[in-house]
Amino acid sequence: MGAHHVKVVILAGGFGSRLAEETATVPKPMVEIGGKPILFHIMSLYEHHGFNEFIVACGHLGHIIRDYFSNLNYTHSDYTISLKDGRRTIVNPVALDWTVSLVDTGSFTMTGGRLKRLKDWLGDETFMCTYGDGVTDLDIRTLLAFHKAHGELATLTAVRPPPRFGTLMLDGDRVAKFSEKAPASEAWINGGFFVFEPGILDYISGDDTLLEREPLANLAREGRLMAFRHDGFWQPMDTLRDRRYLEELWSSGKAPWTIGR
């Protein structure tokens, strides 16, 4: 199978409770940046690197994701409708050569459980996987090549946590220095953008398994989990503040995750 046939799983079923204002009516991956769901931005990133076969693991409010894709051509295009018979003619079609499988993986299933439920969809080939709420300027092809070269079961993309809080330097009770941005920490965190071999599914016991807990911990203990270090842009949309930041980047015309598009 050529690289471009590697399937991409997007975990789009969670509740996104910290964005409660936004996610009461739409699932978190459908929260929009620049008028398009963040899910669409993530898929466009993969497509930009040549990957266009997607499996979207739906859960909470999954019908909204399904409706979006079944109407996508109309959502992103102008069309003429004949009210007499309801026929729609797209005027400027969005040329998206994507195959998208929408799979209901249960409303309360955890991230690992969602993957496990996709077993029959994945077959016995290497596949990629990420969360439905984080964007990056990662080079997906380089990530995949790294995975293929080390030959282990799993690769995650290690990223620097975005500086969320400013810092105070105190001198006694006096604020000696006030800094808007935290100093770049040495820490790495799991930024998603995984590459997995099908054997990963054996590490997931069932619906209640969080991918980030036992499966990744056990793989790490066995030395079978590799990290692809990405020092560039990575930003999740966990809070309204994150969403506003992504929206600002988008409207500035310099959104890092779309460079070169």
Per-domain boundaries in the chain: 3-258
Question: What's the CA dihedral at 11, 13, 17, 18 to 10 degrees?
Answer: 20
Indicate if the pLDDT at residue 133 is higher than 70: yes
The per-residue pLDDT for range 57-93, each reduced to its tens digit, is 999 899 999 999 988 877 777 888 889 988 888 777 6
pLDDT band at 1 (very low <50, low <70, confident <90, very high): very low
Contact present, 40 and 258 (Cβ < 8 Å): no
Terminal CA-CA length for the chain: 25
Least confident of 29-38, 102-111, 132-141, 165-174: 165-174
Q: pLDDT at position 182, please?
A: 62
Q: Rounded to an integer, what distance in angstroms lies between the CA atom of residue 227 and that of residue 65?
A: 31
Q: Rounded to an integer, what distance in angstroms lies between the CA atom of residue 186 and that of residue 169?
A: 19
Structure tokens at 248: 């600002």
228 phi and psi angles, rounded to 5 deg = -95, 115
User: Do the strands 174-179 and 167-171 form a parallel or antiparallel pair, or are they unpaired?
Assistant: antiparallel
Q: pLDDT at position 199, please?
A: 97
Least confident of 6-10, 27-31, 151-155, 158-162: 158-162
Cα separations (Å) of 61 from 27, 37, 79, 180? 6, 14, 27, 37
How big is the CA angle at 126 (ends 141 and 103), to the nearest 5 degrees?
105
The per-residue pLDDT for range 147-192, each reduced to its tens digit, is 999 999 999 999 988 776 667 777 787 777 777 666 666 688 999 9
Q: pLDDT at position 41, please?
A: 95
CATH number listed for the domain at residues 3-258: 3.90.550.10
- H or E element: which one contains 176? strand 174-179
Structure tokens at 168: 């105070």
